[in-house]
Amino acid sequence: MATDSWIRLSYARRLFVWLLGYSLLLVGSMVIFQYGREKEFKAAELNSQLQLVNLHISDGLAEGKTVEQIDLDRFAPLGDIRVSIIDSQGKVIYDNSLDHLPGSDHSGRKEITEAMRNGSGYTLRRHSESTGSTYFYSATRSADGMIVRTALPYSLPLSRILEADHTFLWAMGGLTLLFCFLGFLATRRVGQNILRLDRFAAKAERGEKIIDTEPFPHDELGDISNHIVRLYARLQQAVADRDREHAAAMHQQQEKDRIKKQLTNNINHELKTPVASIHVCIETLLTHENMAPEKRREFLERCLANAGRLKRLLADVAIITRMDDGGRMISRSRVDLQPLIAEVVCDCTPAAEAKGIGIDNEIIGPLTVEGNADLLASVFHNLIENAIAYSGGDSISLKTVSLSSDKAVISVADNGCGVDPSHLPHLFERFYRIDKGRSRASGGTGLGLSIVKNAVVQHGGSIRVDNRPSGGLIFTITLPLPRRE
C-alpha cells in the first residue's frame, strides 16, 4: 500500500522527498558531529583549568604543605572543588569531601589510568560511589608518582558550561529550512519540465500537431527538452517545408527566367538605337549618291561610332554571360595588381587628358591576388572610364587604403559632382543609367558597373560606392589575398 502511494506521487514530489531526506541526513550528521566536537572542546577546556589546580596542589605538596594549607581561593570561580590524593597503587590517601577514606582500588578509574599512563586524564561524567554525587574528574600525576585529582560536581551550572551552543543548532535548523525551500523550488522546476515533456509525449503518440510556444528553462534538461520538441516539430513540418522549398525553387527558376528575359529585352532595346542609326545612315548614303564628301564622311563616322557601340555592348554582354553561367570555369592565376593597374592607367591617360582630367595612381605593391587578369583589368578600366565620362571633375585617384595578410582594400575616387544618394543603391544594376541621354551620347552600354561588381564578387571580394564629402564618388574595393606559403 505504501509502495502504491509512493508511485502515485509525481516525479517532482518524489525527487523532493529524496532531496529532503538527503538534506536532513547531511545536516543531522553535521549537527551530531559538531555537537560532539563542541562538547569535547569544552570538556578539554574545563580539564585544562582543573589541571592547573592539580599542578598547584602538587607544587604545594612538594613544598611540604598539607592540602588544607594550600590556598585555592584564586580558583574560587570554578566552584566547590573536591580534591583527592591517590598513591601509585590506586589507594585514596586524602579526600576533602569524605569523612572516611574508601578502601577500594581506584587505579581502574578512567582518569586515574590515563594519569598514570600519560601524566593526566579526565572523565566527563561519572557517579561517585563514595559521595553519591556525579562529578567531572581531572587527574594529574606528580613527580613522585602520586595522583592529584580534582572534581567538580556535575550540577546545573556545570551542565550548562559543558552544553553545546544552541545558536549553532538554530543556525543549522534555519539552514535546513533554507535547503528544503531551495530544494522545493528546484524539484518543482524540474517537475514542471518533466510534466511538459509527458504532455508532449502524449500528444506525439496521438499524432497531434505540436506548436511549441513556451520555451523550456536554460539548463541541461531544458536544452534536451527543447531539442526533442524542436526535432518533432521539424519532422511534422517536413512535408510543408519540402513544398515550400519546391515553391521557392520554382520561384527562383522563374526569377532567373525573368532576369534573362529582362536582359534580352534590355539588350534588344539597347540594340535598337545603334542599329536604327546605322540603318538610316546607310540608307541615306545609298539614296544620295551625289552627297558632298564632308556629309558622306559624317554619316560614315556616325555608322562607325554606332558599330563601335554595338561591339562594346556585345563584349560586355559576353562578359556578363560568362560570369553568370561559368564563373567557376574562369581561369585563375597569381596576379600582381600594381603593374596591372599601372597599365590600365596608362591606357586611360590619353582619354583623360583629352578632357583635362589627371589620373593619380598611388597603388603600392607588390599586391598579389588570385584571379583572372582580364577581369581584374576590366574592373579598373570601367571605373576609370566611367569617371572620365560622367564625373565632371578634373582628377581621378587610385589608392591602397589598407593592406593586411588576408585582404587588400583599394579605392578609386573622383572629385566630380557625385550622384544623388537615391541612385547609389542602383548603380551596379544592369542597364541602370542616371542620365540616359548623356550615357548613350558617350557610348556607354549601361553594363560597366555591373561587370565591375560581378568581377569583384567572382574574386571573393566586395565593392561599395559612396559620395565623397568634398564632392565626387569613391568606389572601395576589398579583395582577399592568397595565403603565403
Which helix or strand (DSSP H or E) is residue 134 part of?
A: strand 134-141
Domain range enclosing 250: 246-326
Max CA pair span of the chain: 170
> How do residues 308-357 score in pLDDT, each as one tens digit?
766 766 666 666 666 655 555 567 788 888 888 898 888 888 888 888 98
Tell whether 177 and 217 lie within a shared domain. Answer: yes
What integer is the mean pLDDT of 261-275? Answer: 61
- Provide the CATH number for the domain around residue 441: 3.30.565.10
What integer is the mean pLDDT of 25-54? Answer: 76
Q: What is the pLDDT at residue 211?
A: 62
Residue 6 lies in a domain: no
Q: What is the pLDDT at residue 376?
A: 84
Tell whether 207 and 263 lie within a shared domain. Answer: no
Alpha-carbon span 216 to 165, nearest angstrom: 46
Tell whether 365 and 440 lie within a shared domain. Answer: yes
Whole-structure pTM value: 0.42
Tell whether 262 and 182 lie within a shared domain. Answer: no
Tell whether 304 and 174 lie within a shared domain. Answer: no
Residue 133 lies in a domain: yes
Q: From residue 276, give the alpha-carbon distance in Å to each of 137, 282, 298.
A: 131, 10, 16
Residue 349 burial (CB count, 10 A): 16
List, in sequence order, every residue forming a beta bridge with 334; answer none if it has no partner: 370
Range of lowest pLDDT (17-21, 218-222, 476-480): 218-222
pLDDT bin (cut points 50, 70, 90) of residue 476 is very high
Residue 187 lies in a domain: yes
Residue 339 lies in a domain: yes
Q: What is the pLDDT at residue 156?
A: 46
Tell whether 22 and 148 lie within a shared domain. Answer: yes
Alpha-carbon span 53 to 70, nearest angstrom: 10
Q: What is the pLDDT at residue 166?
A: 63
Sign of the torsion formed by the C-alpha atoms of 332, 338, 344 and 347: negative
pLDDT bin (cut points 50, 70, 90) of residue 438 is very low
Tell whether 322 and 281 lie within a shared domain. Answer: yes
Between 32 and 417, the higher pLDDT residue: 417
Asked whether the beta carbons of 155 and 17 are under 8 A apart, the reply is no
Q: What is the pLDDT at residue 162?
A: 53
Q: What is the pLDDT at residue 9?
A: 62
Nearest 5°: CA angle at 326, between 320 and 327? 75
Domain closes at, from 326, 351, 382: 326
Residue 378 lies in a domain: yes
Residue 38 lies in a domain: yes
Show the cell assigned to 379. 574592373
pLDDT surpassing 50 at residue 2: no
Domain closes at, from 162, 181, 199: 162
Domain closes at, from 188, 217, 236: 236
> How do residues 361-393 score in pLDDT, each as one tens digit?
888 878 888 888 877 888 888 888 888 888 888
Asked whether the beta carbons of 365 and 337 are under 8 A apart, the reply is yes
AA letter at 473 = L
Tell whether 336 and 305 lie within a shared domain. Answer: no
- Provide the CATH number for the domain around residue 122: 3.30.450.20
- Provide the CATH number for the domain around residue 305: 1.10.287.130
Tell whether 319 and 185 lie within a shared domain. Answer: no
Tell whether 50 and 67 lie within a shared domain. Answer: yes
What beta strand segments (E) does 87-133 contain? Answer: 92-95, 120-127
Tell whether 343 and 404 lie within a shared domain. Answer: yes
Residue 241 lies in a domain: no
pLDDT surpassing 60 at residue 96: yes
Q: Give me the chain's average pLDDT, please.
A: 76
> How do residues 114-171 score in pLDDT, each as one tens digit?
888 888 888 876 677 777 777 888 889 888 888 888 888 766 455 555 555 567 667 7
Grid cell 560606392 — which residue?
465
Alpha-carbon span 84 to 107, nearest angstrom: 13
Nearest to 57 by CA among 145, 121, 142, 153: 142
Q: Is 261 helix (H, G, I), strand (E, B) or coil?
A: helix
Residue 372 burial (CB count, 10 A): 18
Residue 82 lies in a domain: yes
Alpha-carbon span 205 to 323, nearest angstrom: 53
Asked whether the beta carbons of 461 and 439 are under 8 A apart, the reply is no
Tell whether 346 and 252 lie within a shared domain. Answer: no
Q: What is the pLDDT at residue 169?
A: 67
Domain total in the chain:
4
